[in-house]
Amino acid sequence: MSTHETSESVRWLLLIHQLPAKPAYARVKIWRRLKGLGAVTVKNSVYALPANAETQEDFAWLVREIAELGGEAFVCEARLVDGLGDGEVEALFCAARDEDYAEVAAAARELADGNTGDTERAGPVARLRKQLDEIVAIDFFGAEGREPAQGLVSGLEAGLQEKEGDVTGTETKATPDPLKNRVWVTRQGVQVDRIASAWLIRRFVDPAARFKFVPGSGYVAQPGELRFDMFEGEFTHRGERCTFEVLLAETGLDDPALDAIAEIIHDIDLKDGKYGREEAAGVRSLIAGIAASSPDDEQRLARGAVLLDDLYSSFTGKQGGKQGSK
């Protein structure tokens, strides 16, 4: 099921099962299988998945596996799950995935802060990427923890690639010319980081930029396209930097006013209060208002650009825009 379907169209598959007391490993085996499918518990021995052809098949195989272990199971389709509305059930899925993402993020931070060499780090980073990809595959509703975890793992990967580039003499930083006259692709439903990044691109990087909005992850760039603020994007979260910060660094823009805006976007997008920008709350509210009143992504970019132009003008008059930063 697409994560962009409306909540009114969501239907649920429920797996209800019972396992014998022995063998003891059967319960652990089925629990691991359910976890791997991304199912959530809604009641004792009752698990839910969003209804689609793939999840129907997944549950069908699991019913057979439970039967082979001496248990009983059946699958039913439901409009309501234990009296919960669709939004409440979606929240259960997001909470479960956020726990998974938090585990990946913690491991990534530990690797980033450790003293292991690049050779020793390559294996754990590859395993983290595999773990993250497996979680993303069962993140049916786009849990908030996905982007921070993705950014941390991407940051580790970028660090390894930069070190490899230093050894081989390969240039890893993007240069200005290849960024001109491009189609810039990002996810539908743009919010603060994508709105600000699009403004930065068109105002300072690629005045002729055209923007394309696509669903979710997995989009393969076509010739002439660059992806931003997407999980596989050329410009996206890296380490503990949001996409706007990555773009600012990799395009070589040296402007104190842009640095100040980057701090605001970071505080809003990553919600970590790193810079403590006093302007963040106001900008967050304005962007939220733009998103709520403008369903069209191009409209959001246009209205966001007016806000960011004014913000930039304000900072250029404040001697580098350092007021309000910590």
Q: For residue 31, with 0-12 CB atoms within 10 Å meaning exposed, 13-18 middle and 19 or more buried, which class applies?
A: middle
CA-CA distance, 63 to 194, in Å (whole number)?
43
What distances in angstroms separate CA 188 from CA 69, 219, 229, 250, one per listed residue? Answer: 44, 12, 11, 24
Contact 164, 170 (CB under 8 A): yes
Per-residue confidence at 8, pLDDT binned at 50, 70, 90? Answer: very low
Q: Calculate what percentage of the chain has a pLDDT beyond 90.
A: 45
* Res 28 pLDDT > 50: yes
Q: Where are the domains of the chain?
A: 7-83, 87-168, 177-316
Please indicate, yes or no, whether the overall pTM of this predicted structure exceeds 0.75. no
Three-state SS at 22: coil
pLDDT (tens digit per residue) in 258-303:
999 999 999 998 787 889 898 998 999 999 999 999 999 999 999 9
- Our CA angle for 171, 176, 180, nearest 5°, is 130
The pLDDT, as a whole number, for residue 2 is: 37
- Top-confidence residue, 7 or 14: 14
CA-CA distance, 147 to 105, in Å (whole number)?
10
The domain 7-83 is classified under which CATH number: 3.10.20.600, 3.30.70.240, 1.20.120.330, 1.10.3720.10? Answer: 3.30.70.240
241-245 mean pLDDT:
92
DSSP 220: P
CA-CA distance, 155 to 132, in Å (whole number)?
13
Q: Are strands 183-187 and 225-227 parallel, antiparallel or unpaired?
A: parallel
The residue type found at 279 is E
Q: What is the CA radius of gyration of the chain?
A: 23
Contact 17, 72 (CB under 8 A): yes
